Amino acid sequence: MKKILILLTASIIIFSCNKNNEKADAYGNFEATEITVSSESNGKIEFLNVEEGAQIKKGTLVGLIDTLQLHYNREQLKASIETVQSKSASVLSQIQVLNEQLKTAKIEQNRIKNMFAENAATKRQVDEIEGKVKVIEKQISSVQTQNAPILNEIKSIAVQIEKLNDQIKKSKITNPMDGTVLIKYAEPSEITAFGKPLYKIANLNEMELRVYVTETQLAQIKIGQKVTVAIDSENDTKKYEGHITWISAQAEFTPKVIQTKEERANLVYAVKVAVKNEGSLKIGMPAEVWLK
């Protein structure tokens, strides 16, 4: 009986050792696409509704930078454009009057030409009416020339107004993606500047595990292939299903942070594995991959 117990104990130990010695095909760490949202305007932050750990939808208005001075400048330009437009309206009214005069003169010109053809008018009358038509046409051309710089000034002011509209739009802080706030860099009432970081966000619903495989393993994998991913848990390992989304086309030396000195001399290929995250996976967390 004692021998049986010894053999049974030895078998359990051997089985446990074999299970623990089972090696994964690849090792790596989880990553996520992180976006640092920065200010696109200068001024005081009126509000910034982001907190670390909060989940925010894409397109949500999360903050505003003071736009009061921009608003005043825009109103001033609108008043200027109305003044310039009134000048243009005056010029256009002159052109309208001259066009009416030209219309009347051409009617008279045709009538005198017909009379001249019937010997009822003199050549002098024909010359006079033709001269009158030419004078009115030159007056119209002159007035139109006066209107050109006015129209250019209106276009210039309109462009300035559009620039201010764009600056006002950029003063509104809109969240660029669905994700979780990782770090908050600024607070309401602080003065910010163009390019200054406000917060960092990442989509943690699907994580990317970057692992490295050898040249011999490369033939066993392909884009879209399903693999098993495991992380350490309190008592054992926790497993997930993942799929390969990217395979590097170029070999590189094994990263020093994850392999031994001997293995660092080997050439490997980087591979990305997408894994759905139910909340347990974190950026930088180590994991193992089984290809089969």
Q: Report domain extents, the chain.
A: 24-33+203-290, 36-64+172-200, 68-170
pLDDT tens readout for residues 3-42: 333 333 333 333 333 344 468 889 999 999 999 999 999 9
Res. 143 pLDDT band, cuts 50 70 90: confident
What is the rounded CA–CA span in Å between residue 197 and residue 193?
A: 9
Q: Kindly list the distances between the CA atom of residue 266 and the CA atoms of 23, 28, 98, 215, 269, in Å, as whole numbers in the listed order.
A: 18, 16, 88, 10, 10
Q: Which pLDDT score, from 0 to 100, does residue 188 have? A: 96
**Higher pLDDT residue, 208 or 132?**
208
Instruction: Give me the architecture of the 24-33+203-290 domain, per CATH.
Output: Beta Barrel (2.40)
pTM of this prediction exceeds 0.85: no
Q: Which pLDDT score, from 0 to 100, does residue 164 have? A: 96
Res. 259 pLDDT band, cuts 50 70 90: low
CATH topology of domain 68-170: Helix Hairpins (1.10.287)
pLDDT tens readout for residues 197-239: 999 999 999 999 999 988 888 888 999 999 999 998 877 889 9
What mean pLDDT do residues 71-75 have? Answer: 95
Res. 149 pLDDT band, cuts 50 70 90: confident
Closest CA to 276 of 242, 225, 230, 246: 242
Residues 6+ apart with CB under 8 A from 95: 140, 143, 144, 147
CATH number for the segment(s) 36-64+172-200: 2.40.50.100
